Amino acid sequence: MSTGDAYAVLAAKHGYGNSVRYRRILEYLMTPEQAHMVHLLPCKAEDLAIQLGTSADAVKGELASMYRKGVIFARSPEHMDEAIFALAVVQLHDITMCSFDVDTVKDRRLFELWDDFCTEEWDPDQVRGWIEGTGPQGRIVPAYRSILDSPEILPCEDMRQIIDSARSIAVAHCTCRLRKDATNLTCKHSHSMVDIQFNVSAEYLVSRNAGKRISAGEAMALVDECEAKGLLHTCENSTRMRPRWGMCNCCVDCCMIYEPLRRFGVPVGKCVAKSRYEARVEAEMCTGCEVCLDWCRFGAINMADTSGSGKPAAVIDPELCMGCGNCVLKCDFEALHMKLVRSPGHIPQAR
């Protein structure tokens, strides 16, 4: 195999062996010699050096550089003998753009390459997978301030308990939002430092200069900020207290899940499970101000004169309501609250 062919081999591992766009990303991230080295992993540096006719120190230097770039993965920089190429597109996408070494101006080309590939190839493929898949991979965690009074809240749906149970916490860039910012679609919702990661993932990000260590108090302050901005707490669809994806705080303009779902007109539930809660309106308290309509990211609120009084009030569509709690936090008239409507079994047990 020639050195250049390693790109095709690596792209094929992610299901994009024939994609010119994906190859361009790999070519941006690795020299042909680095790609050749990566395709031989996992392998000890000393053995790689023999295969490649170079020194172990030179190999270690290249591996350290690619670890920091996010092209290869290991538990930590001390475990480089176990390093492997990214497991899938999503991992390479997130990690190569998520680094304080990466700059949206200096590295704009990287963001453009990812955006082109995602828009043209990956998003349609993902959406097809979600439609044909076996169930939602993610779930909404309700805004904690919208369910403060709920006596039956589970630990895995309570942002306070999720944060408190973590041994270590880091915040990192949301790469969806960073990618859109870099390619000129500045998100109107927030800055991109909203991806909260826990324990092993937090340590990994800090070791790569890709995450900033924060305290539980700082994490809760960030959660408050995200809830004020109407961002959606989204994590894996399980009861795991330290979700493997971490806790994303998503908008529907940039997110690699919500945005394609909306663009392709696919129901959100195909990829993201509702929370166990649903919004309810107390019509007599509703002034008809319509503020909640603007804050509902899922078009689940309409105005209607349900009482026949001639005064329209908010009406929730239970099919569309994802149980995020955004609307409850924004109603100044206490006309909205969250009602528990699903049993604990709605959230799959962590395996």
Closer by beta carbon to ligand SF4, 184 or else 287: 287
Q: Does 268 participate in binding ligand SF4 (rule CB under 6 A)?
A: no
Cβ of residue 279: shortest distance to ligand SF4, in angstroms? Answer: 4
Closer by beta carbon to ligand SF4, 26 or else 322: 322
H helices, E strands: number in the chain: 15, 13
Quick note: the x/- pattern for ligand SF4 over 292-331, rule CB under 6 A, is x--xx-x-xx------------x-x----xxxxxxx---x
Does a cis peptide bond (omega within 30 degrees of 0) precede residue 42?
yes
Cβ of residue 283: shortest distance to ligand SF4, in angstroms? Answer: 8
Closer by beta carbon to ligand SF4, 86 or else 247: 247
CB of 234 closer than 8 Å to CB of 257: yes
Partnered with residue 236 across adjacent β-strands are: 138
Q: Does 333 participate in binding ligand SF4 (rule CB under 6 A)?
A: yes
Cβ of residue 280: shortest distance to ligand SF4, in angstroms? Answer: 9
Q: Does 144 participate in binding ligand SF4 (rule CB under 6 A)?
A: no
Closer by beta carbon to ligand SF4, 19 or else 326: 326
CB of 277 closer than 8 Å to CB of 325: yes
Q: Does 272 participate in binding ligand SF4 (rule CB under 6 A)?
A: no
| CA nearest to 142, candidates 296, 330, 323 | 323
Which of 147, 153, 257, 335 binds ligand SF4 (CB under 6 A)? It is 335
Cβ of residue 261: shortest distance to ligand SF4, in angstroms? Answer: 14
Closer by beta carbon to ligand SF4, 100 or else 333: 333
Partnered with residue 272 across adjacent β-strands are: 138
Q: Candidates 66-74, 164-172, 289-297, 343-351 — which segment interacts with ligand SF4 by CB under 6 A?
A: 289-297
At residue 74, the 3 state secondary structure works out as coil
At residue 306, the 3 state secondary structure works out as coil
> Which residues lie closer than 8 Å to 310 by C-beta, 6 or more apart?
none
Closer by beta carbon to ligand SF4, 6 or else 140: 140
- Rounded CA separation 174/202 (Å): 14
Count interface residues toward ligand SF4 (CB under 6 A): 27
Element (H, E) at 92: helix 89-97
Surface-to-core class of residue 346, CB atoms within 10 Å of its CB (0-12 exposed, 13-18 middle, 19+ buried):
middle
Q: Does 281 participate in binding ligand SF4 (rule CB under 6 A)?
A: yes
| CA nearest to 297, candidates 242, 344, 229, 343 | 229
Cβ of residue 130: shortest distance to ligand SF4, in angstroms? Answer: 19
- Rounded CA separation 14/326 (Å): 36
Closer by beta carbon to ligand SF4, 25 or else 300: 300
DSSP alpha helix (H) spans, 183-295: 199-207, 216-228, 258-263, 291-295
Residues that bind ligand SF4 (CB under 6 A): 279, 281, 286-292, 295-296, 298, 300-301, 314, 316, 321-327, 331, 333, 335-336
